[in-house]
Every structure is written in structure tokens, then in C-alpha cells.
Structure 1
């Protein structure tokens, strides 16, 4: 592969390309640039000179300028360096690395404090100390020390599994990241952010430019790309730093308060994200937030908000976690940057569940350092509320500095005759009727499995990062495979290599496709093989069942444990009056609507046939193996160890006196129990408070053990 422009439509001016020609050339250019990026950034063995490489970059930038719909998140113009390489080993986090919930308005902060007080049953005048510290915009990293020595460093990844970057992290200066700790627990994981200062970033880019190399878009991308270099020498040459702000697995407590642990981090030699403040009210938190926002430009590093954390660690433990974030912390983000641009057109995007989403096609505009050409309009009600029309000048911002959205319309610039947009009543992809169910805001295609748009989006979801996460099989590649008919179901992914070797009916082998070669084909098949084993929660999420996100998938996996048990239970739940359906709806956070969607998925014969091939079937005879292995769910270690309620089903009823109901439920789940909403023969304990009502009566009728609140606290070794 050379750096000269690939033989597609290189002899044409970009403005003369048709949409199909542009898409074909973009795919070839993207593959060529990715190849040369890997050679340069990962292998330190460039195959072309800088001028040839720059010609490729200029051409793809020109294509995207004329055809902005081709500028997606995985486009080379949106990346710095090479993607994380297969050369990094995977690390399973002993304690999950979770993200933070966000606050965007001051009222969100007030509500956050109120929720904590309700959860802990704190009186309005009871003290509640909070630490407020800057939110550094870098790459999350976990450092594991054993007997005071750094033995492993890992990225956050998906929170459950990250990449082993130990060798690269060892290159960071000891003044920011000590390699040994004095008087540390036998095992301690220090977590924080790898970052680059503004000055270091500017000097790095000056060196890159002087050498004729690609400059980085921002300090965060520069830090992330530097840490993920396969060549440690490249990382060693980059000015990386580290802030410590939390911890993961520990063999002994680090202190009694967040502020106390911060002081211990400093004693060990870690740099801390400053300025931090100990606050005692929402008013004090907001005052510190505004102070940091005003001084933001003077800090040596990039920040995108302020993080608030409950100071007392025993209260953090009581508050626990919800979904993928702690209840005891929140990130108060700075306002999103906004820009004005023209709305050129409104198109309809059909999602994997059939939802028709209006999308604004925008005149490309830079917002927060990123070029935005498309923004979601959410649904027809939201469009009507904002009165967005073709030709309007609109105000665009990136929500949470990530997702582009239209904030409003500049009405005085509206062109004469601009008409309201009418949502289609038929699917633009398959022609099926598009209906809006009563009580819902989303219009959906009724085509189901015959709709190519839904099938394509389901496949993209199946291989997405939090599902099967197959390297090299991103959205663009999956779309290419689907459009050519070689991958139309998830099963086709895992038979692709065999079919490629036998020969496709209507297409040449992959190695002969534009943008593909023997090495890239071999790498893709290796990546597919690596994902033939998958944890249960990821597999459930990958199925793309409506209403089932990552948190729900993990909840279902924890309750049912194994794929055979989960599938059998869901098929048995087809009877809405049966025990299996009641058991499903008894799970805390699983409502009837969600349960019906899950059951409907397993009731569909086509889905069952696919699952038989994909994950194996039991049926009436001997179990059969599938082409993938679904591993039993392993919950991250909560540190609770074996407890008297692990695996038990518990129902709480009535008013608790020494803890709130939400805290009681959270504590039970933390100790390994399953919390149900109603009493059945499968219930192990019913914990009753004041005014327990019918649930206590039913428990006694069924012979289920009934515990008072005091007996419950004694069972879990807590004193009221």
C-alpha cells in the first residue's frame, strides 16, 4: 500500500463525485490512513513519506467537507494516532471502575444533596460535608500496588475490563506517579487521571509540526494516544502526568474521610487535583464551582467541571452505587459551548428498535473543538416545541461536551416560506407503516425483522463496545458487510471466516475488496475468534432487547446467573399469569412494560432459532453447543465476602426507622442478595417496618421468615 491516492475516483474533483462515489473513496482512504497510522504510531515503521501521507489526509478532509455525512466518530479525521491495539492485554478490574452521574444545572446539585439526605435519613440540620475538586479532562487509569510496589496499570475500558498499560505508565515521572509506596496496605489500587498540561501539550504539538507529523487536537487526546503506544519509547518521550483521586481494591482501609485519603495520597507522593474544598452545603459547593469556572483558564491543565463527593467514607459505603455510578458523587459540568449554523435538511434515521428519529443535517460548524454536521432532533414533539424548520439558523451545542444537539432557533433569520417538518407515516427504509403508540413520544416502523435499517442497526449494536466489542468490526465495516449481504444476522459474524475461505456466492474473498488485504482480513478473523466467549451480562445487552440497557442486562445476569437459566426462565415467562413472569417482575427495577418486551423477544420464533445457533439449545434432548460460549455472570467483588444473605431473595415492606427503604435495598444488594418487590414461595426473608400491611400477612401465610428491622440489622452485623 502506497501513499499515492488510491485508484477509485482520484482523478475527479471532489465536488464532481456522486454520493456513492464519495462513500466508496472515503472507505478506501480511511483504510489506507488507518494502515499508515498503525505503521507509524504502533510499529514505528512508516512506509511512506510525510508528503504522501498528508495527501491522503487532505483528500479525505475534502471528501468530508463536501459529504459531511461521511464524517463519523470513527473517521480518521476524528482520531489521533492509532486505535488501541490488540497488543495490549486485557485486565479484569477486581472492583469495577464506574463513571459519574452528571449535573448541568444548579438545581441538579440541590437535588443531589436532597437525595443523599433522604437516602441516609438525615435531618435538614444534620451536618453533611462534601469534597469539591476539579474534574480533570484526561484518561482514567488504575494503579495496582502490592506490598508497596507498582505491579500493574490499566485503563478504565468498559468499567469491568480495561487494557494493561503497565510498561507505558512506568515512564511517567515519579514526582507525579510514585512507583513505590511507604506504609501502604498489602494491596491498594490508586485510581486517577493521566493528563498533559497545556504548556506541555503546546510544546508537543510544536515538535510534531516541526517534524512534519500530525498534531493533536487537544491535551486529552494527546495523553490518551501517548499512553496507548505499543512502542514504550514514544510514550517515554511524551510529557505525561497523573492526578490521584480515588481507589479500587484495598486490603485495609485508607482512612475515614475522602479528605483524609487525599492527604494520604499526597504523603505517598501523588499529585492531587487542586483547588479542592471541603463544603457543608449546596451553596458552598456552588460558590466553589463558580470560583473554579472563573479561574479555569489560569489552570495548568484542562478541566470540564467540578466533582462533589460525600466526605465520610462510612456514608459512601451506605450510599453505594446505582447502575454504573456512585450515589455519593456527581460531576457538575461546565456549560456546553454553543455555535450558530444553518439547518440544511431534516432526515429520518431508523434505529434497531424501529424508532424513527429526525436528524438535523447541518452546515458543518466547530463546537467545542469538534466539527459537527449532524444533530439529533429527538422526536416529533421536541421538534414541534422548538419549531425547527429546514433553512433555519440554529443554535448548536454538544450536550455534556459530547452529543450534538440543537438548543433553539434564531427566529429573526428564518427564511420566508420555511415550512414545518411532517414526520413520515411510513418507514423510509422498508416502506412499512410507522405508528406512534398511545402514550409514547416515538414513532416506530412496524416492519420488524424485514426492515433492513433495523437489522443493520441491531448488528451494529451487537458488535458495539459494551456488547461483543469486536475490534475492526465497527459501524462502518458492519454496514459495508450488511449492504453486500454477507452479514445479515449475528451468526454470520462467526461463520464469516469459513464462508470467506469457501467463497462468497456474489462477491470475491475479503482480501480482494478495496481497502482490505491479507493482514487486515487475518486480524479481523482473529478479533472475531477472541470474542467467542462472552460474559452473560454483555450477551444479554448485545441482543438489543428494547428497554434493556447495560444496567438492566447486568441486573438480569446477576439474578439468573447463567445463560441456560435465564433463557429457560424467559421462555417460561410467556404466561403472564405464571410464576416465571411474576419472578421477573418481582426483580427490583424491572417493571411490567420492560418484562413484556423481554418476554416478547424470546417468544419470537426467529429469535429463538438464532439463539439456538448462537448460544446453544437445550430443548427436550441433549444440550447442544453454540458458536459462542456465554460465561456465567461474575459480579465485581464488593469487598463484602461471604454473607448470610448472599443469594437470598429479600422483600422489604413498611417504613424503616434506622435506615431508608432505598438504603436497605442497596445494602442487601451490596451483600449479594436479590431484592424483590412482592412475596412468593421463593422469597427467603421479608423485612418488616411500621405499617407493613399485606406483604407481612402473605409471608406468614406462605411460611416465609419474617424479620423485624432490628433482626435484619443483627443478621447483617450492623447496629441500629
Structure 2
């Protein structure tokens, strides 16, 4: 029998080593070991923790991969209220602020600290004995949502602090900004555009929405990041100043932006603001201003707070950059799912650090709302200083004979009449089997990094193959041979060999990534993974009805209808068969969940609402383990509606009208053989995991009565 002490030592050693490697990679941009070796160490730790859960450490690096399903977020009070900042919009506003500070300090010398105001979500983190124990959102300033499981997935946020620099208090609070890096934001919007979904407006909203997701595995995939900007502790004289606190936070391993500067005069503050007015657009994170605060903590206490904000800090907001330019044309782009997106072609105009030549018009509704006409002089801004958008028209410069833009009725690529499904904003080209841009986009998606990731066959290459007629569908890729590729421009013998090897290797890509690669509308990475785990084979998935699909976690009615429609098309079933013949993975490996009993055989269930004892996925697994079936719609044939908290009234009314029995979660569990419920749930979830890919407002604390020595700063 293994020695528990030896196992505990190995877990502790691996944990410490992986924390160090994460710190080097995310804070110092240093990769001390290859990614594959890091993954092997992480897999070893995860295996040890699964075999010996009692020995796992609370802030293990394995927590970063996510996987916690939270049915609802509990709330917690803030020990120090998170107040908002006052705003300044001009140099005059800043001079008034400076004068108030001077009067409040009665002419004493003081310094400011200036920092970038990153556009994200304010977060309060608690560390105890150097370990992250809690993450709470700003909420209403006095109480926020506890989102610790989601916060743990943020890769550059240490779960365990380094023992470097000044001594750490036994317990303290760190506040900072959680944000979505711009490259990640762009990737998300590209994927949403391909899937025909509405684009995210700005990174701040995307970060906020991500933190409220119930599945921490999805949060982990979003690649959020964190910057610390505040240290709080009830003890006196931990640090003399905000600048000293920032240095300590960085020494302890917390990510602190290097863009801050200590300024000894208002003129230096203004110089900092002017320096970053354009330079900030070079940063990989959205910004919306500069934060200025008095550096010395004792002087902060002297200045104090108003009811809403500190007197010792202010946020300078840069004016929104806008331009006036001419709308020369509107081009219509056809995406992978057939959505036709209008794009404004503009006379180039400098805006927010870039030259803007194009702006998305999103759909026909926006064109109509703006009453756009070719030749108009339009006002352009960057939404959240990220996405160029047209905000209005200079009607005084519009010619009297101008005509409204007519949205095309036929696909600009293939001439097929466009359709506009009820309830949708986009017009779509239904010719998904022959429309050239749709075919090319689906091929590019299939070979993309998150899908099959075929070495040597990137988007440009597969696009060229499509233009040459070598491939039209993903299945055609597996019929490429060296003979067919020999003689093509920019493809030498070695490149051809690498490409053929990459195609062969793609046959081992797990089923969930193949399913994602098929490019079914609305089926993103997470949904593909959930479907793969639930159905395990492409055949079971294709056989499922829309109501059955809708009952799968993370799916729902819209995705289910899209899946059912895709499955019903002969051309898609033929594609599946060709991929099967080529040897592509169309099923999960590993053992399928085994039946525990037939107690629920012949019974069908609909689950609705939020459940207390189990997640919806766990209940679905339990029902399946005991012979029952899940469906997504209520009919006379339904055996039971299982009602959880916050179930919609429409389902209850329909079930009552059809005389379908309505039962609780407790009633359902009582139908399962005694002693089988907990074991079957664990076995079902474990079996589901087998074969998975391994792969704005700023917030300030207000000093509470009785705690005058609290340390506080921003960024």
C-alpha cells in the first residue's frame, strides 16, 4: 500500500513546482520547461488528487482548469465597502481636484500615483496564510457575488503567494480588475460571427458576463486576466504608501501593471495623461482613462471619503474619439453559417490609434435605423474604443437626391435568394452546399487550431485548395494525396509530406473537437463537448430528436433545432459517413456509463429549474443510469415533470393542463434504489469524463469606523 506521507510529499512538491512555473510563465514571460512536460506534471498531480482527494491542497494548480457547476452564486458582504471614483473630464477638473487635496492637507507636501484605468470588472480577493480563499464581485458596493471557483481559473492570478518581499499579513484583501485581453475578445467575436451570433459589444461586458457563467470550465476557456491595484488590511502601518503596497503585491507574485508612475506635481500628472493618450492603444487591454490618487496612506486617511467616493482619488476620462468621414460603399460578407453581414467602406480616418477604413453595420436593422445612404458624411466612433461603428449621419451635408441603401435580396456570392428567419436580425443564404464563401469558411473552421488543427493545412492553404477545386468538404481533405499536390505553387516535397502526415494525425483528434469542427450553427466548443459526453457517438447524436437534444446541458431549444435540421440533411449524413470511412474519431473512447438499475425504464422526464442537491447534468446522468429517458418538451406521453426552483410558469401550466405529474428533486431521488443514487452519480460523471480532450467602475474601500489604519489604493 502506498505510503500516505510519500504521496502527500509528492503532491506538495508538484503543487509548489507548478505554482512556480505558472508564475514564471505569466509574470516573467519565461517558459522553464516545454508545454508537454508541464502538462505531464499537471496530469500527474491531477491523478494523485483523484486517487487521494483527502490529500489535495485547497489551491492546487489543477483548480485552474475549471469544472465546477454552480447552480447559484452565494453573496457575501464586503469588509470594506467598494465605493466608486469621482470623475474628471478636463485639465480644469484636475486642477480643482488638486486644489481640494492641497487644502485638505493644509499645504503639506504630497505625491500622486497615476495608473491606467483598465476597462474590466472590479474584484475583491481574500488571501489567508498566502492562499486565495475567496473572490467576490463589486455587487452593490456593500455586498457582491462569491465567484471563487471562476476566479481560480484565471491563469495569471496566483492561488498561492510567493514568500518574497515584505512579510505578508495573516489575512488581507487584494482588489483589482479582471479583464478580457483584446486578442481574446477579437477571437470570441470572430467565432460568434461565424456562428451567426450577435457580436460582443466590448471586452468589459464580455468579462462581466464570463464571471457570471455557471460552468467554471467555460470560464477557464475564456482566458480572463487580472491586474491587482489595491491592498487592504485592518492592521496599521503595513505599508506607508500605495506605491510601496504595489511593489509588495508584485513581489508576492500578484500581477501588477508596470504602467503606473509616481508624480510629485500636477504637471507630472498631466504629462502622464498626455503620454498615454495615444500610447494606451498599444496595450493588449482596453482602457478608459487614468486613475490619480494621493500616494501616502496617512494622508489618504486625513482626506477621507464622501458618501460615494474617496477625496484622495479621481479618475480622468479620456474623451471618446470620434471622426467624420464619407461612406463610400457597403459590402456584404457571407459567413460560415450563411449570415450576410453588411460592412461600411469608409474614406480612411484616424481614430483611437488606428486608421479606420471599415466599420461593421451588423444587419439591415442598423442600416434602417441610421437611415444610411451612399455618399453620406458619417460620424464614426470605436465602441468601447475597440470596434469601429457608425453613430450618426451629418444630415446637413446630405444631397437632396440621395436614396436609401437597399439591402440585397440575393446572396452576393452565389445569387441564391436570401431568407430572414423569424425573430432573427440577419439575412441568410440557405445555399449551404454550394455557396463558395460558406464552403471555404467551413473548411477553414474544420482545420482551425481549436478544431482538427491539421499541421501544414492552415486557413490560407485550405482556401487555396478550395479555389483550385481540390476540396469542397472536410471529407475531401482525407482524399488528398502526394500525387494530387505535386506541382502546386509554394508546395515542395517536404511541405507535402508534412501536410499528408498532419492529415493522418488529425484522425486521432478527439470526437468533441471533430464535432466542433463540423461547423454546425450554434455548436461552439463547450456545446460540442457537452454533446460528445452525453451521446458518446455521432450515431446517437444524429438519432436524437430536437426535444431530446434540448434537454442536454448547455444546449437548449435554438441549438437543438439547429442540430436536428443539420442531422436531417442527406448531404451532412453523407459527410459523416465519408469521415467515418477515412478513420476520423466519431465516438468517445473509454467505457460508456454502465446501467445501475432498470427502476426508471420506460419513463420519460423533463427537468426544469434549479436544483438543490444535484446539478441538472447530474440528474440527467442519474436518470439514464437507471433506465429513464430525458426529453425537452412537455406532452401527454411525458411521465414526469421534475420541478426545481425558479421553474417557469409556462411549463407548470402546460403540465397541469395535460395532467402530467409534477414531482420534486426529492421525489425523483426516492424513485431510485436505496444506496444507488450517490454511487451512480459519481460513476456517471466519471464515465462522462473518460475520453475528454486534455487539452467599470473603479472601486475603493471606505474606512469603517474603528478601523482607521486600513491600507487602501487603486490598481
Q: TM-score range by the shorter chain?
A: 0.3 to 0.5
User: What's the TM-score once normalised by structure 1's chain length?
Assistant: 0.46
User: What's the TM-score once normalised by structure 2's chain length?
Assistant: 0.46
